[in-house]
Amino acid sequence: MPQNTTKIKKCLFPAAGYGTRFLPATKAIPKEMLPILTKPLLQYGVEEALGAGVGNMAIVTGRGKRAVEDHFDISYELEHQIKGTSKEHYLTEIRAVITKCTFSYTRQIEMKGLGHAILCGEPIIGYEPFAVILADDLCDNDKGESVLAQMVKLYEKYQCSIVAVEEIPPEDSNKYGVIAGKEEEEGIFRVTDMVEKPEPKDAPSNLAIIGRYILTPDIFDIIRETKPGKGGEIQITDALLAQAKQGKVIAYKFKGKRFDCGSVDGFVEATNYFYNKSKA
Ligand code: G1P
C-alpha cells in the first residue's frame, strides 16, 4: 500500500502527561479533563478532529487517566437520571461525539517524551498517515475551518508531514519546537531545519510549532532511531528533522487562534475567549 496517499482517518492524542503546572487540580483529575467553560480540553480536540473528517481517535493515556475513557462513554446512571428533564440538553454534544467517533486507547508506561508517546500509538495507527492533536493547545477559528481541517486539506496537496506554526516573540523560543524553512506559497514553508526549545540566540526563526501535526507513518521507524534530545526525552521535533532533511515536512501558518492551555495564563485567556463567544 502506498504509504502517503491515503486519507487521514485517525487522530492521535498524547494524553499521558502529569499536568504538574496545574497541581493540585491535576492530582486526581487528568489535565486533559480540565474544562474550558463546561467542556474538557480533550473534547475540544476530539470535536476538532471529527469536524475535519477524522473520526477515529487514538488516545495515548497513562496511569490515573481513567476519567478520559469514562468521559467518552455512556453513563447509564446519568442518562437515566436526566432523561426527559430540562437538563437533558447538557449531554447533547458529548452524545453526538460518542456516536460519531471511535475511541481506542493505549498506555504510555514511562514518560519518555512526546516522540515516545506518539510511538506508543503505533499499534492503533498502523501504517497510514495520521493527525496528532495536543489537547492543551486549544485552537479556534471563528472565521472558517478549524486548524486541523486546514491541515487535512493541505495534506491532500503535499502528501507529506505537516506541522502547524505561529509567530512567537523571540524570547519565547525555549518553550517550543522552532522551524526554519523556505516559503513556497503564502504561509506554507518547506522545512529545512527544526530545533526543540532553542534559546532565543539559537532559534532558527520566530516560527514555533503548535500542537497540531500530520505525520506520515515512516515517522515511527524514525522515532525508534531517535536518540533522547532536549530534557533527555525523545522529541518528535528531532524525528521530524530527519524527514525535513529529505524535504518532506511542510510548516503551515494556520488561520485562527491558539491558546496555550498548558499554562494558567493561556487557560484563563481561553476561558474568557470562549465565555465571550458564548454570550455573543
Ligand atoms: C511540545 C513539543 C514542541 C511544541 C509544543 C507545542 O512541547 O515538544 O515542539 O512546540 O509541544 O505546544 P511541550 O509543550 O509538550 O513541552
pLDDT in tens, 234-248: 999 999 999 999 999
| Ligand 1 mean position, distance from CA 210 (Å) | 7
Structure confidence at residue 18 (pLDDT) = 87
pLDDT digits (tens, 9 = 90+) for 131-178: 999 999 999 999 899 999 999 999 999 999 999 999 999 999 999 999
Joined together, the cell numbers standing for residue 95 give 452524545
| Ligand 1 mean position, distance from CA 175 (Å) | 7
With a Cβ cut-off of 6 Å, ligand 1 is lined by 114, 134, 137, 176-177, 196, 208-211, 235, 237, 262
Structure confidence at residue 226 (pLDDT) = 97
Read off the pTM.
0.96
What is the position in ligand 1's atom list of the atom closest to the CA of 210?
Answer: 6
| Ligand 1 mean position, distance from CA 241 (Å) | 15
What is the position in ligand 1's atom list of the atom closest to the CA of 209?
Answer: 10
Residue 55 lies in a domain: yes
Interaxial angle between packed helices 41-51 and 147-158, expressed in degrees from 0 to 180 and rounded to the nearest 10? 40
Q: Give the position of cell 534530545.
A: 229
To the nearest 10°, the Cα dihedral for 176, 155, 134, 226? -60
Residue 222 lies in a domain: yes
Structure confidence at residue 120 (pLDDT) = 97
Residue 5 lies in a domain: no
Question: Vertex 249, ends 243 and 253: CA angle to 5°?
Answer: 150
Structure confidence at residue 5 (pLDDT) = 57
Please state the domain count of the chain: 1
User: How far apart are alpha carbons 234 and 239 in whole angstroms?
Assistant: 8
Nearest CA to ligand 1 atom 7: 176
Structure confidence at residue 6 (pLDDT) = 75
Residue 90 lies in a domain: yes
Question: Which segments of the chain have a pLDDT < 70?
Answer: 1-5
What is the position in ligand 1's atom list of the atom closest to the CA of 236?
Answer: 8
Structure confidence at residue 231 (pLDDT) = 94
| Ligand 1 mean position, distance from CA 69 (Å) | 24
CA 116 from chain centre, in angstroms, equals 15
Residue 163 lies in a domain: yes
To the nearest 10°, the Cα dihedral for 96, 99, 104, 109? 40
Residue 25 lies in a domain: yes
Residue 2 lies in a domain: no
Question: By residue range, what is the domain housing residue 245?
Answer: 10-279
What is the position in ligand 1's atom list of the atom closest to the CA of 237?
Answer: 9
Q: What is the DSSP string of 106-146?
A: EE-SS---HHHHHHHTHHHH-SS-EEEE-TTEEEE-TTSS-
Residue 20 lies in a domain: yes
| CATH number of the domain within which 141 lies | 3.90.550.10
What is the position in ligand 1's atom list of the atom closest to the CA of 196?
Answer: 9
CA 222 from chain centre, in angstroms, equals 20
Nearest CA to ligand 1 atom 9: 177
